[in-house]
Structure 1
């Protein structure tokens, strides 16, 4: 259950450039309500996922709602370009004039302070009363960027850096596993990679280059050459090194609410690649999301975990404020979703194959970031968090659930656009955990799906408990805390504990 964020999150710093040409055309995604009752998460080890082919019949769009929307589209001169009933989405194309009348908005051209221009509307779409009950969201009218990648480059040379393999060894990833038979979905809202970088990098680790496939979403594509390449390559190289035999499916989408929603939804329902794990290293503060965008994202994430996909997301790199300047704590979304395994960050120091120390990542004094974490203002405290103590005065979903090395001062040796470099950030922790979940899935012979209840039952027994440091407003403590969750993993102990729960079920 979740409360809704504010209905309008239009960036006040955006400069209005003028009205949008009414003869131009745009394409929007309309997200429909689901038929029947919401699906239950495929919760390890007691609840199994329905097949992707049967899911739509039980939890997809109601055919009557689809026909109602088609009538609405015809009445407003909009063209249906695609309909995915199992995903509850219909794409409609029309002129700016027709879209403005249909959804009660006034579209304009805007520019952000960093020079990016976009089409936007100053309030959320308002479908007519006749359409409203049938629809969760209309996405794509406001095309401002909704998320940023959560990676950090060290401002000074890293005091100690690691290859992903070294981090996996320090965290005792289980022997005899390599992700065989699994597909890891990576959600990317910009950037790209060159195959030469991958072959050079994995050869340097004495590994074969994993199978990497690109999936184009809503006009997105593999487009290397920009800052976001660091995110894409970090994700592929960390996940591919630690789950070297898994397939890596990279879903490239535009950085808009429409693109983000479509990428998650398409990955969850992908019958070709069939991912069992989804890694998301992009996000934004909860209060930056409109009600419709937030609800649409939640519905896509709900689908994913019901289909047995473990969804993992970075908790952010701006400490307890999540980069918001109102002097209040904030958490990052989609990491704050109850359907997502949220990943915080640590600073890791090692000697050989032994961890010497591990503390909360907080380099704000040198303007080099800190792990996100805190308590959601939008998502209620889930049942599986009933046994933890939240920070005083809070009563929402606690973030993060788990953690891993993220400090750029103890970052990851990777290759980006032909250059060897060191990168940190909670962006690295999401694919780190995705690889571990893929290896556990391989050993268990079944996807973990929603692993929250199991992890909160296992608790500190399978983790390196982080008890030193803070992320601003919140301090590390024994057991779960709002900086690093349960801590960083001991992969072998985690797999053993999951196997124990499987035997008890």
Structure 2
């Protein structure tokens, strides 16, 4: 390690306190200190040169770089400090507001001084956990949104549920049948790319092609996987993350058969989740127009800096005209905790939060709620993000979740194939790619939907209002509510509404 003169003054990074490991992983066992020689990969997220102003017309990537890239001087100053402490630079990306550093734990601790750092085991997984805040030399904190990579605990879970009833085969739908029930238009999404964020699992391309063939879907869009931070397409557990990955592909791919699908695989930790999202947004090879996220966790399990960094990335997406859809969670108003809390990233005001309904073959569409152990639409009010200006129907001062909804009840769920085996799956996991496919259809009109919430709240009439049911904390009412949002889509109306939204400049 390089010997460096001790800086005279340090300052704590705002919002950098991490929640106690015991609160987020109650059964975690402390294994002691982290070895000084442990390899570390640290992501430093900077502020943009010019703040975002949303909603806005979509910028080209060249215009975005010119207006918003973090200045070289800001990155260089932190880079010099990190290298003095023994870290090396893996990548410096001003347009993505990102500096990735590598080195040992000893080097990383010297550079950012975490208040608490330890090794833990929860179940069969060992991870590094951070508590308390982080610090940098005085004068640098104002340019930094987050320093990520000291905390490897899992932050998210997939939001899908398998049908428990043997009758689900007769009460469920193929994804195109769900789209037809909602009146989706015939545009295949040609020329569009849907990015899918995955934090584990994988798929077999031949099995995916067989699924589409069995449905009679003529898939013309391509399917590609993108490795992020060393993670990759790794199928092998049909009862685990494979179910999420393949559900996302099969819903988005069959409802928008002309759209390309780019699947971004990253590790399930704060820095991995962030890097997957950032990679998708700034990917000039696949260039997604819509991003679907079916993973998340309660806001109470996230550090504020990680949520702020992710939200900034979603603002970047909207500025580039990229829409982001996120599942609102499958555990009702408490999101699997002991108190009312919403799921992140659906709680970001710059994503389209997607809640869940039950869509029977006959009778009214209602809130999805199968009881405490069966799952229910996630929803409520953020404890971190203020209400965005366009969420006019929300009378609370904080961001309300979800914005929209769709079929999520496993008993009226989606007929899919996971690792070659037929299954019926529901959950808000299916709603995010369903809405992503609908937005791809709208984008095919020649414009980019960008930040869809800013437009959708103007036209409540373009939704099927869900007025019956609850999520064990809030009840559905006429108009927007924190259970199913504005409601489920009237597909053709949504395409017309979003299709005339923003033009690229």
- In the superposition, the TM-score normalised over structure 2's length comes to 0.92
| CA distance in 1 between partners of 2:160 and 2:81 (Å) | 43
What secondary structure sits across from 1:168 in the alignment?
Answer: helix
Partner of 2:285: 272
- For the 8 Å contact 2:354–2:403, the answer to whether it is kept is yes
What does residue range 333-372 of structure 1 map to in structure 2 within 5 Å? 333-351=344-362, 356-365=363-372, 367-372=373-378
1:96 CA drift (Å): 1.2
Match for 1:156 among 142, 157, 165? 165
Partner of 2:243: 230
Q: What is the aligned length?
A: 480
Partner of 2:448: 447
Partner of 1:314: 327
Q: Does 1:60 align with 2:73?
A: no
What secondary structure sits across from 2:450 in the alignment?
Answer: coil
What does residue range 379-398 of structure 1 map to in structure 2 within 5 Å? 379-386=385-392, 388-390=393-395, 394-398=396-400
- For the 8 Å contact 2:21–2:130, the answer to whether it is kept is no
Partner of 2:401: 399
What secondary structure sits across from 1:16 in the alignment?
Answer: strand
Partner of 1:16: 30
- In the superposition, the TM-score normalised over structure 1's length comes to 0.92
| CA distance in 2 between partners of 1:469 and 1:407 (Å) | 13
Partner of 1:77: 86
Q: Deviations over 1:144-186 (max 9, x none)?
A: 11111100112222261100010010000013x0000000000
Change (3 A) 1:341 1:156: same
What secondary structure sits across from 2:349 in the alignment?
Answer: coil
- For the 8 Å contact 1:350–1:357, the answer to whether it is kept is no
Unaligned 5+ runs, structure 1: none
What secondary structure sits across from 2:194 in the alignment?
Answer: strand
Change (3 A) 1:245 1:292: same
| CA distance in 1 between partners of 2:454 and 2:466 (Å) | 20
Partner of 2:300: 287
Q: Deviations over 1:55-109 (max 9, x none)?
A: 1221111111111012101221111111111111111111111111211125321
Partner of 1:419: 421
Q: Deviations over 1:266-315 (max 9, x none)?
A: 11111111111010001111111112211111111111111100110000
- For the 8 Å contact 1:72–1:131, the answer to whether it is kept is no
Q: Does 1:487 align with 2:497?
A: no
Q: Does 1:200 align with 2:201?
A: no
- For the 8 Å contact 1:124–1:290, the answer to whether it is kept is no
Q: Deviations over 1:227-281 (max 9, x none)?
A: 1000000000000000001000001111111111111111111111111101000
1:10 CA drift (Å): 2.9
1:28 CA drift (Å): 0.8
Change (3 A) 1:500 1:248: closer
1:411 CA drift (Å): 0.7
- For the 8 Å contact 2:442–2:499, the answer to whether it is kept is no
What does residue range 117-128 of structure 1 map to in structure 2 within 5 Å? 117-128=126-137
Q: Deviations over 1:14-63 (max 9, x none)?
A: 21112121122211111112212x1223x4xxx32111133122111111
Unaligned 5+ runs, structure 2: 1-13
What does residue range 15-164 of structure 1 map to in structure 2 within 5 Å? 15-36=29-50, 38-41=51-54, 43=55, 47-105=56-114, 106-112=116-122, 114-157=123-166, 158=168, 160-164=171-175
What secondary structure sits across from 2:400 in the alignment?
Answer: strand
- For the 8 Å contact 2:438–2:495, the answer to whether it is kept is no
Partner of 1:470: 470
Partner of 2:17: 7
Change (3 A) 1:139 1:500: closer
What secondary structure sits across from 1:26 in the alignment?
Answer: strand
| CA distance in 2 between partners of 1:39 and 1:55 (Å) | 10
